[in-house]
Amino acid sequence: MVQPARWLKNGRDLLVRRQSNIFSAALVIALTYSVSMVLGILRERLLVARFYNCCREQLDVYYAAFRLPDMIFQLVVIGALSAAFIPVFSEHLAKDEKEAYHLASSLINFLLAFFIFLSILIFIFARPFSALITGNFSSSQIDLMAQMTQAMLLAQILFLISNFFSAMVQSHQRFLLPSLSPVVYNLGIILVVLGFSSSLGIWSATIGVLVGACFHLLIQLPLVLKLGFRYSFSFDWRHSGVRKVARLMFPRTLALAASQIESTVSLFLATSLSAGSLTIYYLAQRLVDLPVRLLGTSIGQAALPTLSAQLAQKQVEEFKKTLKQSLDQIIFLALPATAIFLVLRVQLVRFAYGAKSFPWVATIITGRTLAAVAFSIFSQSAVQLLVRGFYALHDTFVPFGVGLFAVIINVSLSFIFIKVFNLEIFGLALAFSISNFFNFFLLLFFFQRRKEKFLHLNDLYYWGKMSFASLIAAFSTWAMMRFLDTFLFETSRTFPLLLLTIISGTFGLLAYLLSAKLLKIKELSMVWLIGHKISGWRKTIFSVEEIIEPRSETIAGG
């Protein structure tokens, strides 16, 4: 009984301990994101297998039903959390823990009240709103979409509270448990669909969202309480932190409003095309989300508390060094991911969503759409960090202006590619990638114009070497894929297809690493560090400070 008790204690400690640097935190987030994203792909594969062939119109409705609840969630919650809450909460946490939690309670109450008010409006007018934002949906599809939208509003209320919990825990530099919440969310959907799809049909997926949202909230509650949070029914609008968050989130909310317009236009255009087009676009986006979240979101999310703490302590040079190193790491990892996704696009689609249950025509269209979206992997990943760099500086206006311009580019090109050039869903994906590149370039440009300038011309040359190594990776992946497909594997079956994808991708990645060594790209050492960290995962995760430390140590320990 000694050994199981020890395992139980280690497992419990693992969930509550502090990740003491950006790399360890990013690794924890990336590993848990990878599990979550694999489950997310399995979730989509399950939905495709159960519903695409028989009722793809209903599957389109399911994905469309997220639009209105997600819109108000992004505007009300994400605007506050991504732009303002963590930096402001971290400042107060360094001075007075009780005051910081008073601030958190006030913000939760204000935003929850506003969110519920908007949810009531959406609930009442769900059908006319659904008809307004969709293209060629039939009357029965609009009715179903309205009903699903009403059900999903409850899930977003749970997500509001849960995301505040995540932000508070991350401000204490505990990243594992918040990163596990998407894992249990996906598990909730998968379990309900597996158990009830035969009796409830597409509604099993919607109910699964509600169950998953409950899991997302409940898994974080014990750690939030252990860290000292005590909820209070306060609406302290005079609090300086509340006002600062409101001031900082306003331009971010405007930027998100612009991006929500972009997403809504994309929904309208996708639902104006043939049945299943929205599903195909969503499936391609889900695959690209994997490297973007593993690279951009994990590093950016892990870096924000450290960047905020460095600026709070007036360590400007350390801030610039952290930002540059993090950006170099993202680009070094994102460029070969882009290359490999472009080459193995069809294989990835077939393996992820099923060669048998997903028609060949749909596979080819999804592969082409994936190729167009994959061009944005490096820019999407880098934007995740750059935007957080601006937020750490308490500057939300530049990301707003740049984001608004990118939205205009996306919407304009989407209409041109679809209505003028008849590129259909491929045109929508291509417009998305081009607008993301402009977003990345302009954020970088405006960062360089600040006094916090952190890049020089030799960095562009350095990125050029990474790009060249990525081209070699793409060619190597393609050559190995063609050889295996021609001479060794019968890829009509799942296991040979998996082997071909893994071997080809690994060969391309090894070619990239060899090229990086020959070109003397210093980020190559990060790969060995990742291997070392993973091989010694107990030391990486367990040998960190105990929970509940003095606030000065919490902030300085990033």
| pLDDT above 60 (res 349) | yes
Question: Could you tell me the two tokens for 400?
Answer: 């707003």
Residue 56 one-letter amino acid? R
| pLDDT above 80 (res 558) | no
Under DSSP, the state recorded for 233 is -
Question: Could you tell me the two tokens for 107?
Answer: 């913000």
Q: What is the mean pLDDT of residues 495-505?
A: 92
Separation CA 267–CA 141 (nearest Å): 14
Nearest to 290 by CA among 354, 339, 341, 256: 341
Sorted by where each begins, the domain ranges of the chain are 22-455
Among 25-34, 168-177, 376-385, 535-544, top mean pLDDT goes to: 376-385
DSSP 476-538: HHHHHHHHHHHHT--TTSHHHHHHHHHHHHHHHHHHHHHHHHHTT-TTHHHHHHHHHHHHTHH
- pTM (2 d.p.): 0.84
Nearest to 215 by CA among 255, 185, 238: 185
Residue 530 CB contacts under 8 Å (≥ 6 apart), including other chains:
27
| pLDDT above 80 (res 33) | no
Question: Could you tell me the two tokens for 123?
Answer: 């609930």
Q: What tens digit of pLDDT does each residue of 246-298 get?
A: 887 877 788 788 888 889 999 999 999 999 999 999 999 999 988 998 787 77
Separation CA 269–CA 136 (nearest Å): 9
Mean of the per-residue pLDDT values of the chain: 85
Residue 189 CB contacts under 8 Å (≥ 6 apart), including other chains:
43, 205, 208, 209, 211, 212
Residue 312 one-letter amino acid? A
Burial 158-182 (b: 16+ CB within 10 A, else e): bbbbbbbbbbbbbbbbbbbbbbbbb
| pLDDT above 80 (res 548) | no
